[in-house]
Chain A
Amino acid sequence: MSPAPAILPERGLADRLTALFWRHPRLLLAVLLTPPLLWLGVVYLGSLAALLLQSFYSIDEFSGVVKEEFTLKTYGELFRAQNMDIIIRTLLMSAVVTVGCAILAFPIAYYAARFARGKWKAIFYLGVMLPLWSSYLVKVYAWKLILAKEGIVTWAADGMGLVPVLDAVLSIPGIGGNSLSTSYIGTFLVFVYIWLPYMILPMQAALERVPTSMLEASADLGASRSQTFRTVIFPLAMPGIIAGSIFTFSLTMGDYIIPQIVGNSSRFIGLAVYQLQGTAGNTPLAAAFAVVPIVVMLVYLWVAKRKGAFDAL
């Protein structure tokens, strides 16, 4: 019997490609990365640049024609009282929704990361993802019915004798209203429901990376549960909370459907952009409005980094 060859014969195209990529290690990377980079670079960043450019144009107030000349006039318009109202309202709502999501998400994410195993972990993922499988509009309209004056919440409050509580909540000036579905509280509830999965998942991923021994070490050194939470769990979960808050914050800032369906019809940035570029034809101001969330997110990330939110990464 002759000995096996030292070099095995080539078996066609797959082997030739393997050899090519082995000789030029960067080639495969280039082949894999070119399509997404083209997409990101040209389509995504390109349209972002076009948007930015538009925001530096202005509209002729008499003819309604966009003047393609560089000006900061449109940005100046953002500071008008009615526009500032929209921006502040949107930022407040986004912030409150983010905090609400974070508070609701933490126990769920913590349970899933620390205790859920096997079947329960699958149930957790299913439970978190299931709402994402049905249409966004269906969910929002369902919430409108739930929160309406004739809806199940009012009915349940009635049955449990909690109508005075509901009325008290609805009479809070500023955020209350005629019914839950026509108040800021309603808008908040629907936002929190819709974006909650986007907070739970990154938070759970961050908490999963915290080894149990680290919590034990904290207790071992004399920390109470709340000290361990403040000094170990929370800082280590911070990257996940930030990642989740980027989702909830920016999604709330950009959404233009929920405030139209549930709430008191006051405008949010998303709705303003939608109306300005559509009905009003004021593309420059719509573009300037669209830049606001981008700037806010950049500032937010910068502050978070300065505060050491990513130290645990």
Chain B
Amino acid sequence: MFEVRDLSVQVGTKTILKNINFNIEKGVPAVLFGPNGSGKSTLLKAIMGFEGYSVLSGDIIFKGKRINDMHTEERVKMGLGIMYQHPPQIRGVKLSQIAGFLSGDRERVAALSAKLSLENHLDRDINLGFSGGEMKRSELFQILLQDPDLVLLDEPESGVDLENISIMGAALNEFLKRPGKSALMITHTGYILDYVGSQNGCVMIEGSLWCVGNPKEMFESIRKFGYDKCKECSYVQGRDHKAH
């Protein structure tokens, strides 16, 4: 469903991602670990086609089509979606406006906003004065309305209390169980792994993918030994892979 081949990405004058290769299948969400500044968010932004993230070489292939040169909104129309870690505040733009654009079904908008306790946020400027948990719920709300086939999740659980993680995790899990759906998710805390089943994990360090394996096992290993241990893994950039 989604493939990245030999992808190198530059931000400004700096090459951040170097020769990245991976693929994601339908129904098999992938988990991306890595220390701060390793390039994980850059990878998601490059996949979305955001300005300033220049692909130096390689291909991004979605549903069999090379999407390198497509505008963000065209990628979105093909079925890509992203849940932001730190979404911007936009004064004067209401959450309900975006919800209305994403789904013409008013009843669905009302039901989903109620489910995510966002009824009172619909008429508010998007993300303005939202708490961390509210922002994440709003992101999830929009993504579920958008209904992409591949959703990119940038630390969906960061800054969220346990109760909210449970609400969000359950909703995400339900979404990803539907046929044809998949995800690429970044996590630091690993909490989301309790809700979203995945057998497909990898670690990014200094702009390269180092290690591939079962996400839960990898997360335990990272917790015990840190990311340095990942570098000892035999899998680097397309070689045979093995978890710690």
Real complex partners, A and B?
no
User: Which of A's residues lie within 8 Å of B, judged by CB?
Assistant: none
User: Which of B's residues lie within 8 Å of A, judged by CB?
Assistant: none
